[in-house]
Homo-oligomer: A and B are copies of this chain.
């Protein structure tokens, strides 16, 4: 009962299907969970946030692959990380930033005998990450994919706000804005400033707020989020991934 989760910026189509086909060819009976395939193309910061929020929900023993890989085909390295009994597989570009501090092992993927016989220049998801994930989910060891990683893994900047300065990390399907501020910063005195907009209202749930008004709340992923009841905060405020924000605490 191996569980492999896949998170990419590929969209839910032919690329993800090929990864699953490769994995099932090597490890029949794998259970797949699609994390998200809607990450903005190349947005490693969004990938890092989504992995942070999803991985704890995935079961111990699961192998969690994230491929947002604008540097595919260059010299960027590839990593396997062990974190809280889960295994994480990704290019070394910051997608796994949330996990390095508490990782119990980080290995570099170098064992080419695990890869597909022909490795393309543009699709390591299928040719490298999929077969490596199958190997690991089938009981393979981290040492089997390559040596302990001696360098410092790449971390993406901006995953956590620094003081007053943060940003939008992700917009969900409702148009809610997930920010780099912690959920605990939602207090009666909080005041979030962004381009052409300020949000000061706070609430616990959407139904507390009059439709059409923007408000701050502590999101289910542990971050300060901005919502509009019955509407899209992203549209309402014109903010989106990367929008810079400032969080003040009114005296």
| Interface of A toward B, CB cutoff 8 Å | 1, 3, 5, 7, 9-18, 20-22, 24-25, 28-38, 41-42, 50, 53-54, 57-60, 62, 70-74, 120-123, 126-127, 172-174, 204-207, 217-221, 230
Are A205 and B13 in touch, CB under 8 angstroms?
Answer: no
Tell me, in angstroms, the Cα distance from A194 to B35 when the chains sit together: 37
Contacts of A206 in B (CB 8 A): 70, 72-73, 122
Residue of B nearest to A72 (CB): B205
Known: A11-B38, A122-B220, A230-B42. A57 touches B205 (CB 8 A): no
Residue of B nearest to A130 (CB): B57
Known: A24-B31, A173-B9, A206-B70. A14 touches B122 (CB 8 A): no
Least Cβ–Cβ distance between A135 and chain B, in angstroms: 16
Least Cβ–Cβ distance between A103 and chain B, in angstroms: 19
Are B73 and A14 in touch, CB under 8 angstroms?
Answer: no
Task: Select which of B32, B121, B127 is within 8 A of A217 by beta carbon.
Answer: B121
Are B33 and A31 in touch, CB under 8 angstroms?
Answer: no
Task: Select which of B16, B25, B73 is within 8 A of A205 by beta carbon.
Answer: B73
Are B12 and A38 in touch, CB under 8 angstroms?
Answer: yes
